[in-house]
Structure 1
Amino acid sequence: MAASESPASSAIAVTSHDTALCIIPPSHLWSSIDKLRALYDKAFEKWPPHVNLVYPFVRVESLERSAELLQSAVQSWKQHSADGRLRIQLDSAGVFPHKHDNTIYIHDSDEDRNASLQRLRRAVLHSLGQQDAKYQMHLTVGQSDDLEGDAHHFLLDKVDSLPSIEWEASEIAILVRERMQFDGAAKSQMKLWGSISLSDGSLSRAQRPVGFYELSLKAEDSDEETAERDSLQSTGPYCYNDNTGLWEVYQHEVDDTTSTPERLVVGSYNVLAEFTWPVSRVRYPLLIKNILADNATADVLVLQEVTDDFLSCLLDNEDIRDAYPFVSHGPPAQSDIEPLPSLLNIVVLSKWPFDWEWVSFKRKHKGSVVVRFADIGFQNDDEFVPVILAAVHLTHGLTDGAISNKKIELQRILNYLRKTYPENPWILAGDFNLSSSSFTIEAALKKKAISALTSSYLAGFDDKFQEFGFIDAWSTARLEFGDSSDTDEVFEGEQGATFDPTVNVLATKIVGSGFNNRPQRFDRILIRGQSLLKVSRFNKFGFLMDKPSTDDTEEDELEPSFASDHWGVRCTLRVGRDPSEKLPDETDSLVVPVTLTPAPESLASASELSDTLSTLDVFPSEEEVYRRKNVLILLKSIILESAAVESSDGSAPQKRLKQSLILVPCGSYGLGVWTSDSDIDCLCIGPYSSQTFFALAVQRLRKAADRGVRILRRVRANTGTMLELEVQGVKIDLQYCPATAIAENWPTVLKLPPSHPVFTLSTQTLSKLKAVRDMDYIRRSVPDLAKFRTAHRLIKAWARSRGIYSAKFGYLGGIQVSILLARVCKMLARESKGPVSVPDMLTTFFSHYARFDWRHKMAFDPLYHRQRLPYTRTAREPLAILGYFPPSLNTSHAASIPSVRTIAEEFGRASNLLSEEGMTWSRFLCGDTNASTTPPSPALLDSAGAVNFTRAYKSYVKIDVQYWGISPSRGASFVGWLESRCVMVLVDLQRRLPGVHARIWPARFVSAEDAKLITAAASSGGDDDDDSAAAAPSAEASRDYQGCYLIGLEPASSHEDNATTTTTAREDAKVAAGTLQTVLHRFEEQIRGDDKYFDARCQWMSAEVVKRGDLGELCVDNRQWGGEYSPGDEEEEDDDDDDDDQEEGAEAEEAFEARGGDSEARGGTKKVKKGGKKATPPANAVVSRAGGSGKLRSALDVLSRLRWDPNLDSSDYIVGYEDRFTGAREKPLEQWKSEQTDEEFIPQHRVLYFKRQSDGVIVWERRTRKDELFGSGN
């Protein structure tokens, strides 16, 4: 019989870090430990909470043999143990100092229990042939850096505050390390290999190692924009129990008798944590005093930077407990409540019961407390929809990294709210740490502390809030009630500041010196009311001061101080739906749902779509973008005169004009969907009358002629006056809106609802503002503006190529396309689970509107018009595309039944094309062409549809237009006015001949030969610097212009009635032909009979029916002189008006400067000419005008006639004019300079007369209103 082996001869080495022998607490005890481990322990998720017995342990290949030995060791320990039980109670904290860091742990302080554990460990080591060594039982909670640092002491104190954890161990666990690779990074996790029972020593072996956590594979600073609920950190709220005198976890019980309160007061306060150890309580009494102040008392209070010590002190105050019986976190000083997870924490106190969850931002210590109120909300059918409050404390700092983190954090919580609580009212409150001072931001840019991109991020936060439907409680309340706490001596963005180093000494100590020491509005309360919550009041608090007292400092030696470096903010909300309002779902019957139609494979590439648009010059070039930006800057500087010279007393009166007058780009440029041939639409808003503004504007624009500024014409329409300008080659339409309150509160006013008193304006004023307001809402509400712009440009290119892009002809215009696309984008974003690509967006757009019932349905944005739709469609409106703001919601007033049918047909055609196999975006826009002979090009895009139109119908109505006048601008006026009347033909044809469908092409046609001449003239005129050459491509081409408009005719129904006899069909055709001629004859009479616009001496028009073969070869006339007219537009360009502009502009400017630039800022505006004493003119100046009712042709018209009429000898004429210093003088016509940059240029309003030199006859005179050339005037 062989001798038994000794332990030394069978020793198994315990040197492997891939295995461990430990004791693991029951999983229900992990929560309080893991809340801290998740934040402070580098081994969290790699290891479970554990007390090591032996680590390092045996090699993996020795586990089987070791497990057998361990079974014997456990049995041996049990035999020598008093009761065979192993009790553990973790009730104390300790530290293991290391060279580079420190391990903070909890352990059992009882010697008897430690001795039992050490006996078990000794038995295990002996069974493996190893000697016992020094052992300190511990459960690691975290690590710290500096043993003497404040952070170390705070963490050690926090760990020591953990509630005692006690259990009886039933087994010892054998762990094995499993290694893995994720995205090239090595990760490992300790998993359960098996366990040995302490009761009988039996081995329980897992089939495969079992993990304790789902290993997180996302980086801490991941850019993922979706936040997640952290169930580990989320706990129930606490409520104070008066009977026990303890804070206990609150279990909400449903009480049907509880009603929603009529108001909800929300407060937010950053209490400024103590960052030094030991903790000072000097400020605590003053903080509590401020929280309990009358101007701070709230129903729910969000606190930031709350520490364990302050929370325990706060909740120990009886007044606090009475005011706020519910709190998200209990006092850590209470033995059974765990400490707060971080050094700086968000805590919510409430008068009303709630539950809450922690939404992690992935970066440690950063997240949001999301509160759901149990009794505050509204009932939607059988479902109660509670109010949601998200409390935040975003990353601090003004650096690229800090701003990027804020952007990510904010996006995460907003996306979480949208995803989890899409229909609930939201409150977003806390310390946003968003620098608002323009001085601070500009200084940071100059010092390169932040990049330009970061600056744009800062500017985009407000847009992000608006995108999610939030309103700023401070901004709303300030506009309604004012904010008296602000001063005037602040930079932009500093009003409403809640962090003010210029006043608060504590704030000054935080930021020190530099560009950060300006007031900032860090703390905010944002509301998405969902018709339930409405802001009624807003105020700041925290202004109470006191002298802090300490043990080592006399109170008299201390200066009074504030309690925190932040002011608190408080918002009072009215709760309850207006009985007159309807629930959102009540508009569902009016909404046409949008269903995603994925793009086929041949169209699915977004890059190919962009390449196609680039090839067709749909995207403007970088040079064009830069050019237009500079043009807009130049126009603003001219209109606002920002570079005005200061007055003698050192003040700058013109700066007042700049502040009270704003210029806003709108239309396609404002929305960012413009193309290289688009005009820039601009709206000026200010406190002056339209007459005064245009007088000043015209004068300033004419002064800027040497800077490339030209006034093309002045249009007076029913909607007001408009100036058509050309600034450095870019066409600009300038309009004005007199609205003092709008200008003074710009752009904040755009955030206000239509019912706000600031919009109590005239219909005409609201009409002008509507374009900007609609544009602004679309721009900030679409889910992805870049995708929206790409899609918009393609739709516009398609509509132009198909001849349905012109609102004045009853088709689609820019605003209609924007509304139709925006509603598709937003409804797709709401319904789709992920982002929608541009190709998918476009195919859905065309598919949706191809099926749209235009006759019975209205196209509107249901995400804006959520309540009762404030619009009733009439029978006289064949098309209803509704905008957003009053006074007129329907944007399609010019539409007719024929134009709506054409639109519907084109949408159907487009949808069918996009569903064809192998379809490409190039073919879709330009048609089937041979790429080798006719590659896609901008010219093909513009001409393909028009060419097809001239071949598509058997017969057409041809409306001929001729102009042989001298003034190109008058030709433009005539052509534009005629275009605005063409829709009358369609309406009349539909009414009298319902069996005929008429389609007009929204462009003028000219013969191919004339098109070549016009193109050649334009090319030659483009190199000429003369004004007349720039105004019209060719004087001859402008004077003798012939073009036409075409209306295609076809049967309204494609189904013939087989029962109809041939005789009946012929008779019906004769009747139809007669009716058609009657309609055209009536149209001719209407046009020719309008004396205001039609002048038979230089204009002609006629309408007739022609067959397709008689059209000849036609091309689209690409000249832009027709402008964009609407019904009622008129153009007044007589020289008398020029006189008025010059004289009134000069006198208005003088009066404006004399009165400090503020003469009309608050009251009605009167003509400056009618007030005060008139200036005395020179003795020989002719300034009076004889009375007369006829309109006198302008001096410019006469000058052009004398120069260009071949029947007149220009050398035989003399110009009489008024010299500013010597009075009336004369100059030969041939020496007269028309170029404004010429040194000898004389304005046209100073021309007195034109005289024939050969016989001395005056052919035109302003004073007597004589005109022998045109017969105008008297």
Structure 2
Amino acid sequence: MGIQPPANPPGGQWEPISTAGPSGLDVIKTQELEKFMESRGLYESPAEALKRAEVLGRLDQVVNIWVKKVTENKGYNEQMVEEARAMIFTFGSYRLGVNGPGADIDTLCVGPRHVNREEDFFGELHRMLGEMPEVEDLHPVPGANVPIMKFKFDGISIDLLYAKLAVWVIPEELDLSVDSVLQDLDAKSVLSLNGCRVTDAILRLVPHVRNFQTTLRCIRYWAKIRGIYSNMAGFLGGINCAILVARVCQLYPNAVASFLVSRFFKVYSQWKWPNPVMLCPNEERYLGLPFWDPRRNVRDGRDLMPVITPAYPYSNSSYNVSLSTQCVMKEEVERGRDICEAVEGSKTDLISLFDPFHFFSAYKNYLQIDITARNHDDFMSWKGRVDSRLRLLTMKVDRDTHGQLQCHPHPDGFLDKSKQFRCCYFVGLKRKHIVRDQKGEPFDIRSTIEEFKNCVGMYTSVKPGMLIGVSHKKRSDIPLFVFPGGIRPARSTGVGRVCGGAAEKPRNFSPLQAVEGVVGRKRKADESDTNNKFRKCDYVATSRSEALAAGQTKASVQPSEYSLTALQEQVIRNCSSLFNNGGEEDLNAAPFSTPASTSAIPQKPVIKFNFTSLVQANS
């Protein structure tokens, strides 16, 4: 009988599923898991840990010098200057104790009310840091939802936020967990404080911190190796993983890491989304700040996969999740559940959970998003803008194709070292469902991509040379610089599952796999014929105004109509398991025309699915 995730009960009563302690086998498996993580280099060395502590101590000295200097420059008396101080707090993976080698340190600087963010933090402190020889790659992002300053301090990456408290002097024993620190603060200071408050709340709410840390380290590594670790791209981020793991720890308070990892996949493979994952009940507080509550806010009720932060004001940490990314994550969680069940049946070991996901072998078709700029500062600013907006492309495609064209964004961008100031992002594409009576209608996403580009282009700091381009790429056309060593790996002859690597077999094996070679040859012939007729649908655009100035006209594209014979319908019925668990669609870039004028911008691509070649190969 499967585990039914309990609904969050009223009144703060959070009963566990089981309070049983670990078995001897669980302890042995946990030890093996820890050795495996150590072999993968997931733990930092004592020397690096010491260096991080030294850097934080040095940063604390810098911000205190800065606050005293600002206080003096603003004309306050000597006593005020002497008492002026700032404090540094850490949050995120470093505070949770799960950071690995080379990881960023999320830090918060808390200052008094007379030291502001705009002129003092992004002005004077930025200038001071820029003059220090041990500070490199200093990059302020004042326009972010949570303003941040990024830099490297003696080789350690720092993400620094600032919160201005409503006090003249910061107390020596400042407790950020009490709600009173939020009183009379601006919205950005509340958001900046939220990272520390949430991290501390998680550590308070888990029953056993060491077991929580080991489990979280495993789940974070699993999410990264399987390509679903990026809150910005619409997947899981650090805080999402921490809350999800903490909830499982609450449900099994006396379990050790190996058991908790297994239960993580069992619980969330059966979770009834959009029921929220919560570590404590949401309670109204006297400050009256808005917080996540779908009963009060209709917009909160539209969240697909709510993972609620446990500190007031409560918020959904996974609001970036789209239909496509949720589908990808569900399939990965189900894969994890199947592996854990096989481990319990002694059919495999838990290490197979961490087999890498081969993104550039998993799909036949991709969107490639290219961005360029003229210099380093412009490039970093432009890249930050695109990073924060890339998830909108997935959401817009979900909306315009009614969830039928699934997008799988790669969590990372790739630098093209052959060209200065160029970065590429990739999105895997596939048809989400194939219905028995469905025709092979094309998906026209030209206007979707144009809308996305316009959204990115509405940037107040846009400068000449900041360009964005989108193109449709076949698997074989993926540029070599995305592969390690610039060498394209040989494809496995195995049949890939829908969201797995090319060599992974689907859970439900289909008879259609027996004719995979025939289908592959037919597809190659179709692709060759298509590519001979139509050139690649590659274009670069900057903004709507520039496109209109260039005299852009719309292309006339007549999509083909596909009809299915009774035999073809029978093939689809017989092979539905493959279509749902591992079939590859054949996407073709439909033709588009361009005006004769050389100044015109090429038209947007039509992404089409052509699976008649698949069924005809079996007739």
What TM bracket, shorter-length normalisation? Answer: 0.5 to 0.7
Structure-2 residue corresponding to 1:172? none
CA 1:1117 to 1:1103, structure 2 compared with 1: closer, same or farther past 3 Å?
A: farther
Equivalent residue for 1:698, pick from 123, 126, 132: 126
Q: Distance in 2 between matches of 1:633 and 1:667?
A: 18
Asked if the contact 2:30/2:258 (under 8 Å) is kept, the reply is yes
1:610 aligns with 2:34: yes
Residue identity matched to 2:213: R
Q: Distance in 2 between matches of 1:603 and 1:853?
A: 31
Three-state SS of the structure 1 residue aligned to 2:266 is helix
Q: CA RMSD in A?
A: 3.4
Q: Distance in 2 between matches of 1:923 and 1:743?
A: 54
Deviations 1:565-600, CA, capped at 9 Å, x for gaps: xxxxxxxxxxxxxxxxxxx952689x8975689899
Q: CA deviation at 1:632?
A: 0.5
Residue identity matched to 1:895: V
1:996 aligns with 2:405: yes
Structure-1 residue corresponding to 2:388? 980
CA 1:743 to 1:785, structure 2 compared with 1: closer, same or farther past 3 Å?
A: farther
Structure-2 residue corresponding to 1:919? 348
Q: CA deviation at 1:745?
A: 4.8
Q: Distance in 1 between matches of 2:9 and 2:199?
A: 26
The TM-score with structure 2 as length reference comes to: 0.66
Deviations 1:1186-1240, CA, capped at 9 Å, x for gaps: xxxxxxxxxxxxxxxxxxxxxxxxxxxxxxxxxxxxxxxxxxxxxxxxxxxxxxx
Three-state SS of the structure 2 residue aligned to 1:982 is helix
Q: CA deviation at 1:983?
A: 1.3
1:857 aligns with 2:281: no
Residue identity matched to 2:361: R
Q: Distance in 2 between matches of 1:913 and 1:771?
A: 33
1:899 aligns with 2:325: yes
Equivalent residue for 2:470, pick from 1084, 1103, 1119: 1103
Structure-2 residue corresponding to 1:689? 116
1:663 aligns with 2:88: yes
Structure-2 residue corresponding to 1:28? none
Structure-1 residue corresponding to 2:103? 678
CA 1:823 to 1:716, structure 2 compared with 1: closer, same or farther past 3 Å?
A: same
Q: CA deviation at 1:898?
A: 1.4
Q: Distance in 2 between matches of 1:1117 and 1:765?
A: 41
- Write out aligned runs for 1:369-448 (5 A): none
Asked if the contact 1:594/1:824 (under 8 Å) is kept, the reply is no
Residue identity matched to 1:871: D
1:822 aligns with 2:240: no
Q: Distance in 1 between matches of 2:175 and 2:453?
A: 48
CA 1:743 to 1:1045, structure 2 compared with 1: closer, same or farther past 3 Å?
A: farther
Q: Distance in 2 between matches of 1:905 and 1:734?
A: 35
Q: CA deviation at 1:787?
A: 2.1
Asked if the contact 1:804/1:1002 (under 8 Å) is kept, the reply is yes
Asked if the contact 2:111/2:165 (under 8 Å) is kept, the reply is yes
Equivalent residue for 2:259, pick from 840, 855, 859: 840
Q: CA deviation at 1:887?
A: 3.5
Residue identity matched to 2:367: V
Equivalent residue for 1:736, pick from 151, 154, 162: 162
Asked if the contact 1:1081/1:1103 (under 8 Å) is kept, the reply is no
Structure-2 residue corresponding to 1:779? 203
Q: CA deviation at 1:702?
A: 4.1
CA 1:827 to 1:759, structure 2 compared with 1: closer, same or farther past 3 Å?
A: farther
Asked if the contact 2:166/2:185 (under 8 Å) is kept, the reply is no
Three-state SS of the structure 2 residue aligned to 1:1106 is strand
Equivalent residue for 1:959, pick from 349, 358, 369: 369
Q: Distance in 2 between matches of 1:870 and 1:1104?
A: 38
1:723 aligns with 2:149: yes
Residue identity matched to 2:293: Y
- Write out aligned runs for 1:120-199 (5 A): none
Q: Distance in 1 between matches of 2:330 and 2:465?
A: 39
Residue identity matched to 2:393: V
Asked if the contact 2:84/2:170 (under 8 Å) is kept, the reply is no
Three-state SS of the structure 2 residue aligned to 1:809 is coil
1:1092 aligns with 2:516: no
Q: CA deviation at 1:817?
A: 1.1
Q: CA deviation at 1:1113?
A: 3.8
Asked if the contact 1:741/1:758 (under 8 Å) is kept, the reply is no
| Unaligned 5+ runs, structure 2 | 1-7, 73-77, 286-290, 486-619
Q: CA deviation at 1:750?
A: 3.6
Deviations 1:111-167, CA, capped at 9 Å, x for gaps: xxxxxxxxxxxxxxxxxxxxxxxxxxxxxxxxxxxxxxxxxxxxxxxxxxxxxxxxx
Three-state SS of the structure 2 residue aligned to 1:1044 is strand
Q: CA deviation at 1:776?
A: 1.2
Residue identity matched to 1:621: S
Count of residue pairs brought into register by the alignment: 454
Three-state SS of the structure 2 residue aligned to 1:778 is helix
Deviations 1:861-888, CA, capped at 9 Å, x for gaps: 13x5489996226343222110023335
Residue identity matched to 1:1100: L
Q: Distance in 1 between matches of 2:152 and 2:422?
A: 25
Three-state SS of the structure 2 residue aligned to 1:734 is strand
Residue identity matched to 2:268: Y
Q: CA deviation at 1:698?
A: 2.9
Asked if the contact 1:824/1:845 (under 8 Å) is kept, the reply is yes
Q: CA deviation at 1:1081?
A: 3.3
Asked if the contact 1:1003/1:1117 (under 8 Å) is kept, the reply is no
Q: CA deviation at 1:775?
A: 0.9
Q: Distance in 2 between matches of 1:769 and 1:643?
A: 18
Q: CA deviation at 1:924?
A: 1.9
The TM-score with structure 1 as length reference comes to: 0.33
Asked if the contact 2:177/2:200 (under 8 Å) is kept, the reply is no
Deviations 1:794-824, CA, capped at 9 Å, x for gaps: 1111111111111111111111111111122
Residue identity matched to 1:959: I
Higher relative contact order (CA 8 A, sep 6+): 2
CA 1:653 to 1:1081, structure 2 compared with 1: closer, same or farther past 3 Å?
A: closer
Deviations 1:311-349, CA, capped at 9 Å, x for gaps: xxxxxxxxxxxxxxxxxxxxxxxxxxxxxxxxxxxxxxx
Report the structure, 1 or 2, having the larger strand content. 1
Q: Distance in 2 between matches of 1:888 and 1:699?
A: 35
Structure-2 residue corresponding to 1:812? 236
Q: Distance in 2 between matches of 1:827 and 1:641?
A: 47
- Write out aligned runs for 1:238-637 (5 A): 585-586=9-10, 594=17, 604-637=28-61
Asked if the contact 1:618/1:676 (under 8 Å) is kept, the reply is yes
Q: Distance in 1 between matches of 2:124 and 2:349?
A: 52
Equivalent residue for 1:1050, pick from 430, 433, 447: 430
Q: CA deviation at 1:1085?
A: 4.1
Q: Distance in 1 between matches of 2:459 and 2:270?
A: 45
Structure-2 residue corresponding to 1:1076? 445
Q: CA deviation at 1:1084?
A: 3.3
Asked if the contact 1:1004/1:1044 (under 8 Å) is kept, the reply is yes
Report the structure, 1 or 2, having the larger helix content. 2
Q: Distance in 2 between matches of 1:745 and 1:823?
A: 34
Three-state SS of the structure 1 residue aligned to 2:382 is helix
Q: Distance in 2 between matches of 1:828 and 1:807?
A: 26
Q: CA deviation at 1:666?
A: 1.7
Three-state SS of the structure 1 residue aligned to 2:428 is strand
Deviations 1:217-260, CA, capped at 9 Å, x for gaps: xxxxxxxxxxxxxxxxxxxxxxxxxxxxxxxxxxxxxxxxxxxx
Q: CA deviation at 1:1050?
A: 1.7
Q: Distance in 2 between matches of 1:1004 and 1:642?
A: 35
Deviations 1:605-625, CA, capped at 9 Å, x for gaps: 222111111111111111110
Residue identity matched to 1:1115: V
Identity across the alignment (%): 22
Q: Distance in 2 between matches of 1:907 and 1:596?
A: 24
Asked if the contact 1:803/1:1001 (under 8 Å) is kept, the reply is yes
